[in-house]
Chain A
Amino acid sequence: MEKVAVMGVGQTSFEREKDDTFEEMVFEAVQAALSDAGGKIGDIDNVLTVSNDFWDGRTISSMSVMYAAGAWDKDVSTVEGDGIFGAIYGAMRTLAGSFDTTLVVAHAKGSMGRMNLITNGMFDPIYQRPLGIDATMAAALQARCYMERTGATEEDFASVSVKNHRNGCRNPHVHLGMELSIEDVLRSRKISDPLKLYDCSPISDGAAAVVLANERGAKRFAQKPAWIRGMGHCSDSYTLGYRDLANTRALQAASRKAYGMAGIADPLKELDVVELYDAYSYMELLWYEGLGLAAEGRGAELMMSGATCMGGDLPVNPSGGVLSAHPVLVAGLARLAEAVLQVRGDAGERQVAGAKTALAHGINGACGQAHGVIVIGT
Chain B
Amino acid sequence: MGKRAAIVGFGQTKGSSSRKDVNGIEMIHEAVSAALADAELGIEDIDAVVIGNMDHFEGINYVDMWSVEGSGGVMKPIIKVTTGGTTGTTVAMCAYYHVASGLFDRVLAIGWEKNSESDTTGAIITAYDPIWERPNMAGAIGGLAVDASRYMHDHGVTERDGARVTVRDRLNALNNPYAHLRQEWMRGKDVATLVDLLVSSEENQVLAYPLRMSDLCPRTDAAAALIFASEDVAETIAPVPAWVLAVANRHNTVYYGDLDWSLNETLEAASRQAFAKVGIREPLKEIDVCELYLPYSYAGLAWIESIGFCGPGEGRRLLWDGVTDMDGEIPMNPSGGVMSSNPIGATGVIRVGEAAIQIMGKAGLRQLNRDVKIAMATGFGGCYWADVLLLGKNKPL
Direct contact of A and B (CB under 8 A): yes
Chain A residues packing against B (C-beta within 8 Å): 1-2, 23, 52-54, 57-60, 62-67, 71-81, 85, 88-89, 91-93, 95-98, 118-119, 121-122, 124-126, 232-239, 242, 249-250, 253-254, 364-366, 369-370
Nearest-CB residue, chain B, relative to A250? B75
Q: How far is the CA of A63 from the CA of B253 in the complex (A)?
A: 8
Q: In angstroms, how far is the closest chain B Cβ from the Cβ of A3?
A: 12
Given A60-B84, A73-B250, A92-B103, check contact A52 B61 (CB 8 Å): yes
Query: Quick check: is B234 within 8 A (CB to CB) of the other chain?
Result: no
In the complex, which residues of chain A have a beta carbon less than 8 angstroms from the beta carbon of B249? Answer: 75-77
A96 engages B76 (CB within 8 Å) = no
Q: In angstroms, how far is the closest chain B Cβ from the Cβ of A349?
A: 35
Q: Which 8 A-B pairs have the closest CB atoms?
A: A97-B2, A365-B65, A96-B100, A121-B61, A59-B127, A92-B101, A95-B101, A53-B55
B66 engages A92 (CB within 8 Å) = no
Apart from the given pairs A80-B80, A236-B68, 13 other A-B contacts in the complex at a CB distance below 8 Å: A2-B102, A59-B54, A59-B123, A63-B127, A63-B383, A66-B252, A67-B253, A72-B252, A77-B93, A233-B77, A235-B64, A239-B69, A249-B75
11 sampled A-B residue pairs with Cβ under 8 A: A23-B254, A53-B55, A59-B124, A60-B82, A81-B62, A118-B61, A232-B77, A235-B74, A237-B74, A365-B62, A369-B65
Nearest-CB residue, chain B, relative to A79? B81
B254 engages A238 (CB within 8 Å) = no
Q: How far is the CA of A356 from the CA of B100 in the complex (A)?
A: 29
Selected from A78, A236, A370, the residue in CB contact (under 8 A) with B81 is A78
Query: Quick check: is B1 within 8 A (CB to CB) of the other chain?
Result: yes
Selected from B83, B101, B126, B253, the residue in CB contact (under 8 A) with A62 is B83
Q: In angstroms, how far is the closest chain A Cβ from the Cβ of B70?
A: 9
A58 engages B127 (CB within 8 Å) = yes
In the complex, which residues of chain B have a beta carbon less than 8 angstroms from the beta carbon of A54? Answer: 55-56, 61
Q: In angstroms, how far is the closest chain B Cβ from the Cβ of A30?
A: 14
Chain B residues packing against A (C-beta within 8 Å): 1-2, 23, 52, 54-56, 59-62, 64-69, 73-84, 90, 93-94, 96-98, 100-103, 123-124, 126-127, 129-130, 247-254, 269, 273, 381-383
Q: In angstroms, how far is the closest chain B Cβ from the Cβ of A234?
A: 6
Q: How far is the CA of A62 from the CA of B253 in the complex (A)?
A: 11
The listed residue with most B CB atoms (<10 A of its CB), out of A60, A66, A233, is A60
Q: How far is the CA of A235 from the CA of B98 in the complex (A)?
A: 16
In the complex, which residues of chain B have a beta carbon less than 8 angstroms from the beta carbon of A366? Answer: 65
In the complex, which residues of chain B have a beta carbon less than 8 angstroms from the beta carbon of A235? Answer: 64-65, 68, 73-78
Q: How far is the CA of A233 from the CA of B253 in the complex (A)?
A: 32
B75 engages A98 (CB within 8 Å) = no
Q: Give the total number of A-B pairs whose CB atoms are below 8 A apart.
A: 183
In the complex, which residues of chain A have a beta carbon less than 8 angstroms from the beta carbon of B247? Answer: 98
The listed residue with most B CB atoms (<10 A of its CB), out of A71, A97, A250, is A97
In the complex, which residues of chain A have a beta carbon less than 8 angstroms from the beta carbon of B65? Answer: 122, 235, 238, 364-366, 369-370
A236 engages B54 (CB within 8 Å) = no
Q: In angstroms, how far is the closest chain B Cβ from the Cβ of A249?
A: 7
In the complex, which residues of chain B have a beta carbon less than 8 angstroms from the beta carbon of A1? Answer: 102
Q: How far is the CA of A365 from the CA of B79 in the complex (A)?
A: 12
Q: How far is the CA of A119 from the CA of B62 in the complex (A)?
A: 9
In the complex, which residues of chain B have a beta carbon less than 8 angstroms from the beta carbon of A23? Answer: 254
Q: In angstroms, how far is the closest chain A Cβ from the Cβ of B251?
A: 5
Nearest-CB residue, chain B, relative to A124? B66
Q: How far is the CA of A118 from the CA of B251 in the complex (A)?
A: 27
Q: How far is the CA of A319 from the CA of B73 in the complex (A)?
A: 32
Q: How far is the CA of A73 from the CA of B267 in the complex (A)?
A: 11
A95 engages B2 (CB within 8 Å) = yes
B248 engages A93 (CB within 8 Å) = no
Selected from B61, B78, B96, the residue in CB contact (under 8 A) with A122 is B61
Selected from A80, A119, A236, A254, the residue in CB contact (under 8 A) with B82 is A80
In the complex, which residues of chain B have a beta carbon less than 8 angstroms from the beta carbon of A370? Answer: 64-65, 78
Q: How far is the CA of A79 from the CA of B52 in the complex (A)?
A: 9
The listed residue with most A CB atoms (<10 A of its CB), out of B52, B68, B100, B248, is B68
A78 engages B83 (CB within 8 Å) = yes
Given A53-B82, A235-B77, check contact A71 B252 (CB 8 Å): yes
Q: In angstroms, how far is the closest chain B Cβ from the Cβ of A232?
A: 7
In the complex, which residues of chain A have a beta carbon less than 8 angstroms from the beta carbon of B79? Answer: 79, 81, 85, 88-89, 233
In the complex, which residues of chain B have a beta carbon less than 8 angstroms from the beta carbon of A238? Answer: 65-69
In the complex, which residues of chain B have a beta carbon less than 8 angstroms from the beta carbon of A119? Answer: 61
Q: In angstroms, how far is the closest chain A Cβ from the Cβ of B381?
A: 7
Q: In angstroms, how far is the closest chain B Cβ from the Cβ of A137?
A: 15
Q: In angstroms, how far is the closest chain B Cβ from the Cβ of A124?
A: 7
Q: How far is the CA of A156 from the CA of B84 in the complex (A)?
A: 44
Q: How far is the CA of A78 from the CA of B64 in the complex (A)?
A: 14
Nearest-CB residue, chain B, relative to A62? B83
The listed residue with most A CB atoms (<10 A of its CB), out of B55, B74, B75, B273, is B55
In the complex, which residues of chain B have a beta carbon less than 8 angstroms from the beta carbon of A79? Answer: 79-81
Given A85-B79, A234-B77, check contact A59 B56 (CB 8 Å): yes
In the complex, which residues of chain B have a beta carbon less than 8 angstroms from the beta carbon of A88? Answer: 79
Q: In angstroms, how far is the closest chain B Cβ from the Cβ of A57?
A: 7
In the complex, which residues of chain B have a beta carbon less than 8 angstroms from the beta carbon of A98? Answer: 2, 97, 100, 247
B269 engages A73 (CB within 8 Å) = yes
Nearest-CB residue, chain B, relative to A126? B23
Nearest-CB residue, chain A, relative to B73? A235
Nearest-CB residue, chain B, relative to A95? B101
Given A57-B130, A59-B55, A124-B66, check contact A97 B73 (CB 8 Å): no
Q: How far is the CA of A58 from the CA of B254 in the complex (A)?
A: 13
Given A59-B55, A64-B254, A73-B252, check contact A125 B82 (CB 8 Å): no
A76 engages B101 (CB within 8 Å) = no
Q: How far is the CA of A260 from the CA of B269 in the complex (A)?
A: 40
Nearest-CB residue, chain A, relative to B64? A81
In the complex, which residues of chain A have a beta carbon less than 8 angstroms from the beta carbon of B250? Answer: 73-76
Q: How far is the CA of A310 from the CA of B11 in the complex (A)?
A: 53
Q: How far is the CA of A293 from the CA of B257 in the complex (A)?
A: 53
In the complex, which residues of chain B have a beta carbon less than 8 angstroms from the beta carbon of A236? Answer: 68, 74-75
B80 engages A92 (CB within 8 Å) = no
Q: How far is the CA of A57 from the CA of B23 in the complex (A)?
A: 25
Given A95-B102, A122-B66, A253-B75, check contact A76 B251 (CB 8 Å): yes
Selected from B68, B101, B381, the residue in CB contact (under 8 A) with A93 is B101
Selected from A85, A89, A122, the residue in CB contact (under 8 A) with B60 is A122
A96 engages B2 (CB within 8 Å) = yes
